[in-house]
Amino acid sequence: MIPVMGVSGQRVAVLGLGRSGLSAARALLEGGADVVCCDDSETGRKAAQAEGFEIADLTKQGAFEGIDLLITSPGIPHLYPAPHPAIAAAYAAGVPVDNDIGLFFRSYATSEWDQFEVMPKVVAVTGSNGKSTTSALLHHVLEATGRPSELAGNIGRGVLDIEPAHDGSVVVLELSSYQTDLARALTPDIAVFTNLTPDHLDRHGGMGGYFAAKRRLFAEGGPDRAVIGVDQEEGRYLAGQLSVAPSDDRVIRISSGQKLTGPGWHVFARKGFLSEMRKGRQVASIDLRLIKGLPGAHNHQNACAAYAVARSLGLAPRVIEEAFKTYGGLPHRSQIVAEANGVTFVNDSKATNVDSAAQALQAFKGIRWICGGLQKAGGLDALHPHLGSVEKAYVIGREAEVFARDLGPDVSVEICKTMAAAVDAALRDAKDGEVVLLAPAAASFDQYDSFEKRGEDFAAQVSAALGS
Q: Where are the domains of the chain?
A: 11-98, 103-325, 335-466
> What does the pLDDT read at residue 106?
96
> What does the pLDDT read at residue 201?
86
> What does the pLDDT read at residue 162?
96
pLDDT, one tens digit per residue, over 289-345 is 989 889 888 899 999 999 999 999 999 999 999 999 999 888 888 888 999 999 999
> What does the pLDDT read at residue 328?
84
Residue 99 — pLDDT band, cuts 50, 70, 90? Answer: very high
What would the mean pLDDT of 407-416 be, rounded to a whole number? 94
Phi, psi of 73 (to 5 degrees): -75, 150
Residue 356 — pLDDT band, cuts 50, 70, 90? Answer: confident
Q: Are 89 and 64 in contact (CB under 8 A)?
A: yes
What would the mean pLDDT of 240-253 be, rounded to a whole number? 96
Amino acid identity of residue 400, one-letter, is A
First-to-last C-alpha distance (Å) of the chain? 41
> What does the pLDDT read at residue 53?
97
What would the mean pLDDT of 224-229 be, rounded to a whole number? 98
Q: Are 323 and 313 in contact (CB under 8 A)?
A: no
Binding site listing: 127-133
The closest alpha carbon to 174, from 157, 189, 155, belongs to 155
Q: In a 3-state reduction of DSSP, which class is residue 325?
A: helix
Residue 155 — pLDDT band, cuts 50, 70, 90? Answer: confident
Q: Does the pLDDT at position 84 exceed 80?
A: yes
Q: Does the pLDDT at position 225 exceed 80?
A: yes
> What does the pLDDT read at residue 248?
96
> What does the pLDDT read at residue 139?
97
| pLDDT greater at residue 353 or residue 5 | 5
Amino acid identity of residue 374, one-letter, is L
What would the mean pLDDT of 344-362 be, rounded to a whole number? 92
Mean pLDDT of the chain: 95
> What does the pLDDT read at residue 378?
79
Residue 265 — pLDDT band, cuts 50, 70, 90? Answer: very high
Binding site listing for ATP: 127-133
Residue 68 — pLDDT band, cuts 50, 70, 90? Answer: very high
Cα→Cα distances 179→86, 189, 250, 269, 408, Å: 18, 17, 24, 29, 37
Task: Look at 9-13, 21-25, 201-205 and tell me which has the smallest mean pLDDT.
Answer: 201-205
What would the mean pLDDT of 76-84 be, rounded to a whole number? 95
Pick among 3.90.1150.10, 3.90.190.20, 3.40.470.10, 2.40.50.140: CATH of 335-466: 3.90.190.20
Pick among 3.40.50.720, 3.40.50.150, 3.30.565.10, 3.30.70.380: CATH of 11-98: 3.40.50.720
The closest alpha carbon to 296, from 362, 216, 230, belongs to 362
pLDDT, one tens digit per residue, over 416-450 is 999 999 999 999 999 999 999 999 999 999 999 99
- CATH architecture of the domain covering 103-325: 3-Layer(aba) Sandwich (3.40)
Q: In a 3-state reduction of DSSP, which class is residue 464?
A: helix
> What does the pLDDT read at residue 129?
87
pLDDT, one tens digit per residue, over 29-64 is 999 999 999 999 999 999 999 999 999 999 999 999
Q: Does the pLDDT at position 377 exceed 80?
A: no
**Cα separation, 17 vs 106, whole angstroms:** 21
Q: Does the pLDDT at position 156 exceed 80?
A: no
How many percent of the chain have pLDDT more than 70? Answer: 100
Q: Are 293 and 263 in contact (CB under 8 A)?
A: no
> What does the pLDDT read at residue 306?
98
